[in-house]
A and B are shown apart, each in its own frame.
Chain A
Amino acid sequence: MTNHIWQVFAYELQRNLRRKGFLFTTFGIPILAYILFFGYQFISSRSTGGEDIATTITESEQFQGIEKAGYVDHSGLFTDPGDLRSVLSPYNNEESAQQAMDAGEIDIYYVFPENYLDTGDVVAYMPRFSIAQATESLVQQLVYAHFARNVDPILMSRLISPAAINEVNLQRDATGETTTNFDVDFPVIYLFVMIMMISQFTTNGYLMQTIIEEKETKLIEILVSALRPTQLLTGKILALGVLGLVQIAVWLGAVLLLARIAGDVGTTLLFLLNISIPTGTVILFLVYFVLGYLFFAAAYGMVGAISNSMQEGPQFAVVFVLPAVIPLYFMTIFITQPDGTLATALSLFPVTAPLSMIMRLTISTVPAWQVILSIVLLILTNIGMMWLAGRLFRVNTLLSGQTPKLRDIPKLLRG
């Protein structure tokens, strides 16, 4: 009895583990994400070049199409352009600057009025047709070069940009005093929900495929002459469930590794550094994953039992998929009001509970009774679903070459 389940389990595991589709989603997606991440790191590190002002100044492509510029100083502050001489030339008056621009020697010239220090006003002159843009950064460099010549570049960069604020929601206490932070939580939720959904739909999709294949090829008749249909279904569900967990483990591992590496490499994916998921949440995440998986496994098992072709299966499966993804449409509501009526209701309703609860747990502190209630409801629903699947996954349905009509379903359930 259990021997057959084990045999089916072992076979389905090794067979599906070698599927190209599974290998791609499990390992390909993280690899792709790594390539994108490091590619982005590489490109952005090349173009920003760090905080050293001196090296930045000479790179004329920084100045938005300006190869060479000039300036006329009526304030008497900038007598010498210093290190900027290669890109910025001083002129005594507007006329000589204008001549230089007409001659194509410079792309633009700035005029500093006498009261520049008080007002900060600067006039920029450009030809009528020019790819150059009147950028502030050249002026900025000139000002720094004059007034902050001896200031440490790192100190300088802090003076320019004192705080790169990344809000982190640390307060998840029982008082309900939760400050939502779109910047950090949204990607985290998105990541969790996507991992869960992709994994569940891939593995359960395979479950349905293997059933329909056995029906289509009629191999099912040989199989049921050796074992009971429920043994076959149980073996398959267990095997694909394990594959789902493997997938989740690989993905979560990849994310955590990336978060570590990201900390060393740079700050591009800052939110990754802030993923400090409490162990309790991870466990609950797994619980909801397993329960959600079982719900869909039963659903897809039923669909597989009554479908006769690979085209039919996914069409029937939509009946279960659509309600389950409802929480995704309300993602914004989950982020802004994680403990509101809608979010609470969806996280208790068994079909939508796995996705909804994971979203809420990431953002807010969900009362324990709600978590327990939703898990109990989900377990009860799963028992019911498994019972239904067991009723449908029987010889009459499996060996019949016809898809039962909706009105035949109650009869099939009665057996």
Chain B
Amino acid sequence: MQSDATISVRQVIKNYGSFRAVDDLTFDVFSGEVFAMLGPNGSGKTTTIRMILDILKPDSGQISVLGGAITDAAKDRIGYLPEERGLYRSVKVLEMMVYLGMLKGMSRPDARHRSMELLDLLELGEHAKSKVSELSKGMQQKVQFAVTVLHRPSLIIVDEPFSGLDPVNTRVVKDLLLSFRADGGTIVMSTHQMWQVEEMADRLLMIDRGAQKLYGRLEDIRQQYALHAIVVEGQGDWAALPGVDHIEHNGREGTTLYLKPEATSASVLAAIATAADMTIDRFELAIPSLNDIFIQVVEDR
């Protein structure tokens, strides 16, 4: 199956016995984007990722990766950071990285050189000869990330890339992800940290019980879930404004004005402007956070 998309998933179904883990999923991931996969625990994200990586076979449907059915050569162009991660404990960091790099098609000298380069970049150069078990958890996470991008993949699939990292290391990994994208790489990211998705993702797929719930550009989805409401800060009797149904005080976050069906944000703004006893410091459409959207989708099921 030929496709322009970096990853193309078509009507994929996967069952474990009588349990349907992935239910008729269809989506594309395009070159150079950060694509987020969201969903509650057990929703089928990891199963979908494993099928993309050819670790598992779908029961039906097609998956094409990097322009065709997945081959060993294609696998060498993908980097994978699994959610449940681990490294050989009693092996030296560099030695293990070289082995894993070679399994991904690198030559020994290249794997060695590139490993040292990444370790230096992650400020782990002095630990190259240490055993993995001697590293702190944060260091191990960074090594794990280094393994993911070691073989210069063009696509990386990262499952919860920030879990277990402190704010400083979160920043480090995030910068690495962004520089990977800046170099033309494609990122598929599965995470529960919605603010990271809001900050980084171009498009997203949300699945629940194996089926697609949301799919598309982040901005479009947020607009789609926009409330018929306005958030304001300032002085005045907001509830008395024409077109306002009811209000909600959110403390420092301002006040949310829920509008009557016939009102528009423009009519409300005009009304505020003409009211003599009102001042306004902030006026914006109430767009829900991804977190709110996520909870709403899951609770609506």
Contacts and interface: CB of A to CB of B under 8 A. Distances in A.
Interface of A: 1, 4, 7-8, 11, 15, 213-214, 216-219, 221-227, 395-396, 399
B99 interface: yes
B233 to A, nearest CB: 48
Task: Tell me the dominant secondary structure on chain A's binding face.
Answer: helix
B88 A225 contact: no
B89 A227 contact: no
A218 B103 CA distance: 17
A222 B147 contact: yes
A224 B102 CA distance: 14
A222 B76 CA distance: 12
A11 B108 CA distance: 12
Given A1-B72, A4-B103, A7-B103, A224 B88 contact: no
Interface of B: 50, 53-56, 72, 75-76, 78, 80, 82, 84-89, 91, 99-100, 102-104, 147
Contacts of B76: 226
B69 to A, nearest CB: 15
A225 B87 CA distance: 14
B53 A225 contact: yes
A216 B86 contact: yes
A214 B91 CA distance: 12
A10 to B, nearest CB: 9
Given A15-B91, A217-B89, A225 B55 contact: yes
Contact of B103 (A1, A217, A221, A223): A223
Given A217-B87, A218-B86, A225-B75, 8 more contacts: A4-B103, A217-B89, A219-B86, A219-B87, A221-B55, A221-B80, A221-B82, A226-B103
A401 B125 CA distance: 33
A222 B55 contact: no
A213 B89 contact: yes
A393 to B, nearest CB: 14
A55 B80 CA distance: 81
Given A217-B86, A217-B87, A219-B88, A224 B103 contact: no
Contacts of A395: 50, 55-56
Given A1-B72, A225-B75, A399-B55, A218 B88 contact: no
A55 B55 CA distance: 81
A395 B16 CA distance: 13
Contacts of A224: 55
A227 B103 contact: yes
A2 B86 CA distance: 26
Given A7-B103, A218-B82, A218-B84, A226 B75 contact: yes
A8 B103 CA distance: 8
Contacts of B72: 1, 4
Contacts of B85: 218, 221-222
A218 B159 CA distance: 13
B134 to A, nearest CB: 15
Contacts of A1: 72
Contacts of A399: 50, 55
B152 to A, nearest CB: 15
A291 B89 CA distance: 32
B80 A222 contact: yes
